[in-house]
């Protein structure tokens, strides 16, 4: 079953034809750490990206859900003339929503204030011209993770500089960068030698035998 499963994986992702190194992933997912650098929310995000449950704009376009595959964060910045800044959601932000806000949502009112009956403002990216859409970068997973300026702050907080630099050249289409799926290198480690199969050059030679003999 395992060989059959990995054959299917290798057909879809040739870089994993020798398997995938899951140990670092298991270690991160099994961690009980709960601070700004690693917590339950980030573990959930890792599970999602490893399981290929992320739908960036390009994938939504392939599914026929949106009109174009271009990054909407970048389009928002281009249309508004101001750099859009995206932040990871915080657990306490959801808990802080008041009952009054929830009531206004159920009634179709804006929860951002402005009084009852005020409708949500149309997103800036929906106002983009055909030329702006054409010039915008494609919203791939690699673009979102390593290139989109809207996430520069979060990226600098959670990813080391060396990783961000390498990603500029290697992230696109690379499962290790996009989904934390690193190819296994176990096949590069030679098997251990046993008994007489040890090459002569690798054997130990006694210059003086121990007085009590060999054991």
- How confident is the model at residue 78, as a pLDDT? 93
CB burial readout 140-166, b (16+ within 10 A) else e: bbbbbbbbbbbbeeebeeeeeeeebee
Average pLDDT, the chain: 79
Domain boundaries, the chain: 1-53+183-208, 55-174
Long-range contacts of 129-133 (CB under 8 A, 24+ apart): 132/75, 132/78, 132/79, 133/68, 133/70, 133/75
Two tokens, residue 78: 């281009």
CB atoms within 10 A of CB 75: 26
124-159 pLDDT, tens digit each = 888 889 999 999 999 999 999 999 999 999 999 888
156-208 pLDDT, tens digit each = 988 899 999 999 989 998 888 999 888 888 878 777 655 555 565 655 666 66
Q: Measured between alpha carbons, how far is 21 from 15 in angstroms, rounded to an integer? A: 12
């Amino acid at each position: 079953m395992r060989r059959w499963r990995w054959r299917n994986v290798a057909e879809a992702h040739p870089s994993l034809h020798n398997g995938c190194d899951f140990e670092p992933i298991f270690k991160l997912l099994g961690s009980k750490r709960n601070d700004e650098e690693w917590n339950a929310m980030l573990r959930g995000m890792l599970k999602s990206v490893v399981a290929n449950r992320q739908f960036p704009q390009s994938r939504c376009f392939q599914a026929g859900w949106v009109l174009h595959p271009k990054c909407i964060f970048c389009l928002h910045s281009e249309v508004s003339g101001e750099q859009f800044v995206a932040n990871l959601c915080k657990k306490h932000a959801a808990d802080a929503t008041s009952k009054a806000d929830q009531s206004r949502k159920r009634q179709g009112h804006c929860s951002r204030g402005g009084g009852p009956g005020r409708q949500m403002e149309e997103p800036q990216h929906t106002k983009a011209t055909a030329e702006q859409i054409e010039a915008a970068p494609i919203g791939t997973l690699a673009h979102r993770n390593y290139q989109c300026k809207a996430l520069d702050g979060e990226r600098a907080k959670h990813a080391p500089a060396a990783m961000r630099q390498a990603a500029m050249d290697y992230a696109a289409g690379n499962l290790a960068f996009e989904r934390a799926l690193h190819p296994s290198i176990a096949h590069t480690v030679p098997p251990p030698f046993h008994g007489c199969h040890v090459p002569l050059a690798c054997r130990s030679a006694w210059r003086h035998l121990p007085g009590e003999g060999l054991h």
